[in-house]
Every structure is written in structure tokens, then in C-alpha cells.
A and B are shown apart, each in its own frame.
Chain A
Amino acid sequence: MDTLTPVASGDAAGPLTPAQLRELYSLMVAVRHLDTSAIAWQRQGIIPGYAPEFGQEAAQVGSGYAVDTGRDFVFPTYREMGVARTMGVDMVAYMSTHKATWHGGLYDPLKSRLAPIQAVVAGSVLHAVGWAHGQTLAAAAGADGAAAGGGSGVALTYFGDGASSQGDVHEAMNFAAVMKAPVVFFVQNNGWAISVPTERQVAGGSVAARAAGYGMPALQIDGDDVVAVVEATRRAFAHARAGNGPVLIEAMTYRRGPHSTSDDPGRYRSLDEERDGAGADPLERFRQRLLADGIGDDEFFAGALAAARAEEEQIRTGLQALESRPGAEMFDLVFQETTPALQAQAASWREESEHV
């Protein structure tokens, strides 16, 4: 499905250069390696839990690659590690949530342009619309607004096929379409919402089909083809940036392995079903393509893997060195302006836990 009319804009123009294709591959390898390592860390007790994205690297790296961190803003779920890595977020700070150190992660969302990790399914889809409408308001306010950092940014919001069942998502799409907000709804349809397959989750055949009801263009794409994902996301960004309102992208992919490290997929699907549903591995597919096009050779692939390994080791070391946050922050960070009751509770906590 492709109901997006082409926009003449530099954003979407031009095929990816060989250097960019190699960069995409390196990112995908880094993400794959970190993802599989994080599952191992959970088994080793380094982190208590993790939501793997094995098989969704192309969807995440490709979409994240289209973001301009100078002006756009991204609203993730709990599974967007690949997007975060592509955007250059500090990965130790990102992983701190999975280490149960702090809700949302220890990175600075304003600097990184990535909103805090969101555990509530569909929780931040409406926030993206609000942020995007803020861009419209800032642009209307003219130079002042633009100087304050607003104006031409696009919000990119991620959610799953399961999340698309939430009322908030429908409200978000309607708001965005009515207000022509510059937002890209990026659905990773990985086939499953924990144990429930898409056909038992999404009526009407696809999430993309819903866009028509809101008068919004939609793209249903091969989410395992990183180049297709980059191109689609760039087109959607160009459309939104040009003031034409929201776009919905449904990237068709597959969640290999468990929903989270505490899930047991054997209870709702067989390994055969998994093999059939999953299709070709997006990383291997891209490697073959680069090889065939003479853009990458074995030396390059080996180098990318070595870099990914080194990076993973660095992140693990950082994560293991990361200590629990001081308990006092529990009280300090509730408000910008604290309350007497909270101060009193902090004081008695300090006394009773001898944390002075």
C-alpha cells in the first residue's frame, strides 16, 4: 500500500550512497550484536529484563537513520534500542532502564531527541502529536518560535500492531490528521503482541488500512529491507515537513524469539511457525545485497562485526560499573518544586535507613 503522493524536496531525493549503505550495515550489526548480548546479560544476571528486537533491525535502523537530530524528535516504546543506537544515544544510559536503575533511562531526552523509554503500550503516541503541533505553532509564531528551536521538526512515533488497538492511537491519528500535525506514525508490525497474532489483534487487515479513515496517507513496506525503510521514512518526513500533515508507515517485520526475556513463545507458536513467519534474516539479506553490488566485501563485514564486539564490550563494562541511583533521588526528582510532606518523608527515610 502506498497512498503517499511524492513531494519535491531534498529530503527524499537521491539514492543512498555506498558509504551510507555501509554505515547502515554497520549500524545493523552493532544493534544485532548488542541485542543478542543483552539477552545473554539477562541470563547472566547482569540485567533483570530486556525486550529483544531480534529481526527488527532493518525497521529500527532504517527509520532512525532518517531522523534529523538537529530538529526532529522521536517517541519510542520499550523496544527501540536500534533506533536509539542509530540516533547516537549513549547506550549505557539507555540500557540503565533494563538494569532497573532508573525508569525511562539515564540519557537526556532533550539532547538526544529521544523521549524516555515508554513502558505503557501506546503511551506516547499522543505526545508525538502534541510535540508536532508545537512545531506548527512555533512556525506560525515566526522567527521567535524558530529561534527557540521549533518550526521545522517532525515527530516520529513508534508503536506495535498490538498498541494500535489502544484508543489513544486512534485519538492520536485523528488529532494529527485534523490539525495537519507533522508526525510520522511508525508501526512495526512484528506479527505478535505477546501471544496474540496480528490477525487476532488488528481488524481490517492492516494498521495501514486505517489511515484512510483519517484521510492520512499510508505506506505499507517491507520492514526487513533497510533501504526500503530509509526511503519510506524519508518520504514521510518530507511530506510532513512540507506542511502536508501526518503519514502512517507500517513496516512489516517479524519478532523472532520471545516478546521479553520472561516470555515463553513455545506456548503460542511452534518453531516451524516461527521459521515460516520470519522470512529471511534482514541482516543476512542486506549483506548479500552489499556483496552482490560490490559495496561490501568480507573484510568490511568482518570489520563491522569486530567494531560491534568492541562496542558491546564497552557498553557491558559501563553497565556493570553503573551503580544504583542514590535513594535520595527518589524524593528529589518527583517535582521541580518539592513539598513539605515529601521533605519530611525524605528525612525519615534517611534516618531509618541510616543513609545520612
Chain B
Amino acid sequence: MQQALNRALDEVLAENPKAVIFGEDCGRLGGVFRITDGLQAKHGEQRVFDTPLAESGILGMSVGLAMAGFHPIPEVQFDGFAYPAINQIVCQIARMNYRSRGTLPMPITLRVPSFGGIRAPEHHGESLEALFAHVPGLKVVAPSNPHEAYHLLKYAATRPDPVIFMEPKSRYWQKGDVAPEHGGSPTGAKVQREGRHLTLVAWGAMVARCLQVAELAAEDGIDIEVLDLRWLKPIDADALATSVRKTRRAVVVHEAPLTSGLGAEVAQLITQSCFDTLKAPVERVTGFDVPYPSGDLEDEYIPNIDRILFGTQRVLEYRRG
């Protein structure tokens, strides 16, 4: 996936002379995850550059660059270090188009290595999607595999609106084919596996885990559909309706804490469109309402296969009271 993202950025720089990439260590070092590896050497220090260590500065500067007609593609080094930039993201980037009555668009693609699963220190693994998705004026997307990463990033980096691009860092080293010519639609959700009995809705790293769960469940004759949400804002309500109208049961899986998480949003969208056909209430299998724990407890926190299976079981065995 790291290579797919790198290739997408390389092409974006080649195709759009206004695209600029910057952040901490993304120039000479190529980023701590090497996503921008070689881009400075190839495209020059004007197009790809290191900034001082200041996230508020990086995102605030993006606003001015956008006003000057550029397409900034900033990086924050780890999800937890987006917090120092939240003020600029929420109060400025998300509102400038509105504030300026459409005359100052904010075509900013903020890349955020996201989510946990790599036993990293505190703040190096967080799930901020609900926080971003809640903010009017921001769009949010998370790829689940190299192919999606390539196409979604290329698409996001050409949009006229701010997009938060959440890269699942536990999947950076995942290998997989990228078919550059066959991206399909870069918007909306995508069914990654067809099934009849239940829909698992997930995004980012959790998609792969849900596909594993589907494999296991298939051994017991349970046919699970896995819907990769991809866009966390706007959420593809039609795809949710289509899938759940077919399977009549749904479980949402995410790493972020339960309370006020995106699972609640997804569940409501499903309830609204499928109330008459649902055989059971929509379930959620999520992280807990605790700070993202230290590496040793990470496996207890991130939904594992067992917990997802318990969730599917609750839905499959649900009986009206």
C-alpha cells in the first residue's frame, strides 16, 4: 500500500503543477512511513518540502496556499498529532469556502496515517474519523487495500474541497495488485465480498479483518457480505440500503470508541432505509470508550475476529420479543 500511495502522489505532482506536498520529514527522509519517498528528488524542493515541527502551522499554511491557487497535500506524521492542528482544520479549512461564499475553495488533501495495530507509542495510533466527519465542510475517506489507496488518493487529491485521507498504517506493508486503468467509481462504498445472510460494514484496516470473518463464517454456511464504506463523509446511504435490503442484517465494525462513533451514524442510515426489512437491530463491534491503549493491550481493544463473530451471532440469533 505504501508503494501505491507513493505512486499516486507521484502522478498527482506530475499532472497538477499546483499540487504541493509538505509536512514533517516528508522531503529528504520521504516521511517516517516512506509514503513520499523519492518525490522531493524527482519533483524538487519547491513541490515537496519539509516544514518546521508544527502541525497548526502546517495546516494553517495550507489555507493560505489554497487561497493562492495551490493544491496543498499536507501530511501530519501520525493521527494523534492532528490534534494540535484541529483548530486550523475545524475553524479555518472547513469553513473558508462557506465564509467566502464559494470564492475561496479549500482543495486540501490532508494525509493522516491512521488507526492502530502496530504497537506504537501513545498518540501514534488513533481513530479520528468521527471527529473529522462531524465537522461540516470536511470530507473523509479511508482506503482498505493498495488498489483502493491508489485510486482514492488520486481522486481525493484532485477535488476542490478539503478531504481528510486516513491511511490505515497497519496496512502500509500489505501487498496487493493495483490496476491503474480499472479504478471503477472513486466515490461511494464498494462491496468487497458478496453475501446473502448479513452485511458487515467497515473501512480501513477493519475491512481485511471482516473479510477474514466472512471466510470463517462461510465454513459454517453463513454467507456474509462485506461492504467497504470507503467514504466516511459523505456516507454512501444508497449502497448501505442496497446491501442490507438484500441481507436484512447488519453489523458495523470500527476501531474507534463506541460512544458517538460512526457506527451510530451508519446504523441510523440503515434503520431509516431498511426498517421494514431488518430482521434484527443493527449491531456495533467497536473499540471501547477508553484512550487508545498501549501496545500490550491493543489486541484487547481493537475488534478481533472473535468479537466480530459474537456480533454477527447476536444479529443472526436475534428473535423478536
Report the Cα distance A61→B25, complex, angstroms. Answer: 29
Q: Answer whether residue B117 sits at the interface, using C-beta atoms and an 8 A cutoff.
A: no
Q: Answer whether residue A78 sits at the interface, using C-beta atoms and an 8 A cutoff.
A: yes
A196 touches B294 (CB 8 A): no
Residue with the greatest number of chain A CB neighbours at <10 A, chosen from B25, B120, B259: B25
Residue of B nearest to A50 (CB): B121
- Give per-residue flags for B258-278: 1 if the beta carbon is below 8 A from chain A beta carbons, else 0: 110000000000000000000
A342 touches B289 (CB 8 A): yes
The listed residue (A48, A167, A330) touching B290 by CB distance below 8 A is A330
Interface positions of A from 41 to 55, Cβ below 8 Å from B: 48-49
A352-B258 contact, Cβ under 8 Å, with A119-B124, A194-B25, A268-B28: no
Q: Answer whether residue A152 sits at the interface, using C-beta atoms and an 8 A cutoff.
A: no
Report the Cα distance A166→B52, complex, angstroms. Answer: 8
Interface positions of A from 9 to 57, Cβ below 8 Å from B: 48-49
Residue of A nearest to B32 (CB): A194
Question: Which residues of the partner chain B approach A200 to less than 8 Å between Cβ atoms?
Answer: 50, 52
A167 touches B50 (CB 8 A): no
Q: Answer whether residue B123 sits at the interface, using C-beta atoms and an 8 A cutoff.
A: yes
The listed residue (A201, A262, A263, A330) touching B293 by CB distance below 8 A is A330
**How distant is B179 from chain A, measured CB to nearest CB, in Å?**
31
Residue with the greatest number of chain A CB neighbours at <10 A, chosen from B30, B84, B121: B121
A101-B53 contact, Cβ under 8 Å, with A49-B121, A195-B25, A267-B28: no
**How distant is A299 from chain B, measured CB to nearest CB, in Å?**
41
Question: Which residues of the partner chain B approach A78 to less than 8 Å between Cβ atoms?
Answer: 121
The listed residue (A263, A324, A341) touching B258 by CB distance below 8 A is A341
Q: Answer whether residue A104 sits at the interface, using C-beta atoms and an 8 A cutoff.
A: yes
A97-B121 contact, Cβ under 8 Å, with A167-B57, A342-B290: yes
A100 touches B296 (CB 8 A): yes
Interface positions of B from 291 to 321, Cβ below 8 Å from A: 291, 293-297, 300-301, 306-307, 310
B306 touches A331 (CB 8 A): no
**How distant is A330 from chain B, measured CB to nearest CB, in Å?**
5
A102 touches B294 (CB 8 A): yes
The listed residue (B84, B121, B290) touching A334 by CB distance below 8 A is B290
B50 touches A195 (CB 8 A): yes
Dominant SS among interface residues on chain B: loop
Question: Which residues of the partner chain B approach A99 to less than 8 Å between Cβ atoms?
Answer: 296
Residue of B nearest to A163 (CB): B53
The listed residue (A268, A331, A339) touching B29 by CB distance below 8 A is A268
Report the Cα distance A245→B289, complex, angstroms. Answer: 41
Residue with the greatest number of chain A CB neighbours at <10 A, chosen from B28, B124, B290, B306: B290
B53 touches A345 (CB 8 A): no
Interface positions of A from 321 to 346, Cβ below 8 Å from B: 324-325, 327, 330-331, 334, 339, 341-342, 345-346
- Give per-residue flags for A117-129: 1 if the beta carbon is below 8 A from chain B beta carbons, else 0: 0011100000000
B296 touches A165 (CB 8 A): no
**How distant is B1 from chain A, measured CB to nearest CB, in Å?**
18
Q: Answer whether residue B24 sits at the interface, using C-beta atoms and an 8 A cutoff.
A: yes
Q: Answer whether residue B56 sits at the interface, using C-beta atoms and an 8 A cutoff.
A: yes
Question: Which residues of the partner chain A approach B122 to less than 8 Å between Cβ atoms?
Answer: 97, 103-104, 119
Question: Which residues of the partner chain A approach B296 to less than 8 Å between Cβ atoms?
Answer: 99-102, 324-325
Residue of B nearest to A49 (CB): B121
Report the Cα distance A262→B33, complex, angstroms. Answer: 10
Q: Answer whether residue A193 sits at the interface, using C-beta atoms and an 8 A cutoff.
A: yes
Q: Answer whether residue B281 sits at the interface, using C-beta atoms and an 8 A cutoff.
A: no
Residue of B nearest to A102 (CB): B294
Question: Which residues of the partner chain B approach A166 to less than 8 Å between Cβ atoms?
Answer: 53-54, 56, 84
Sample of 29 A–B contacts (CB below 8 Å): A49-B119, A78-B121, A97-B121, A97-B122, A100-B121, A100-B296, A103-B291, A119-B124, A163-B53, A165-B54, A166-B53, A167-B57, A168-B84, A193-B24, A194-B24, A195-B25, A195-B27, A201-B52, A324-B296, A325-B297, A327-B300, A330-B297, A330-B300, A331-B288, A339-B289, A342-B289, A345-B288, A353-B306, A353-B307
Residues of B within 8 A of A (CB): 24-25, 27-30, 32, 50, 52-54, 56-57, 80-81, 83-84, 119-124, 258-259, 288-291, 293-297, 300-301, 306-307, 310
- Additional pairs, 15, CB under 8 Å, beyond known A103-B294, A330-B293, A352-B307: A101-B296, A119-B124, A120-B83, A120-B123, A165-B52, A193-B53, A195-B29, A263-B32, A267-B30, A325-B297, A331-B290, A334-B289, A341-B289, A342-B288, A345-B288
Residues of A within 8 A of B (CB): 48-49, 78, 97, 99-104, 119-121, 162-163, 165-168, 193-196, 200-202, 262-263, 267-268, 324-325, 327, 330-331, 334, 339, 341-342, 345-346, 349, 352-353
The 4 closest A-B pairs by CB, nearest first: A100-B295, A165-B52, A195-B29, A324-B296
